[in-house]
Amino acid sequence: MSKKSRRKKRHVPQRTCVGCREILAKQTLTRIVRSPDGVEVDSTGKLSGRGAYLHNQRECWEKALKGALASALRIKLTVEERTALEEYSKSVMDQA
Q: What is the CATH number of the domain that holds 75?
A: 3.30.1230.10
Q: Is the dihedral angle over the CA atoms 62, 38, 31, 50 positive or is it negative?
A: negative
pLDDT for position 83: 96
- 34 occurs within a structural domain: yes
Tens digit of each residue's pLDDT (9 = 90 or more) over 10-22: 999 999 999 999 9
Given a cut of 90, is residue 76 above it in pLDDT?
yes
pLDDT for position 8: 84
Given a cut of 90, is residue 61 above it in pLDDT?
yes
Top pLDDT among 43 and 92 is at 43
- 3 occurs within a structural domain: no
Give the whole-angstrom CA distance, residue 44 versus residue 88. Answer: 15
Instruction: Give, as one character, the DSSP assignment of residue 49.
Output: S
Domain count across the chain? 1
Instruction: Give, as one character, the DSSP assignment of residue 26.
Output: G
pTM, to two decimals: 0.85
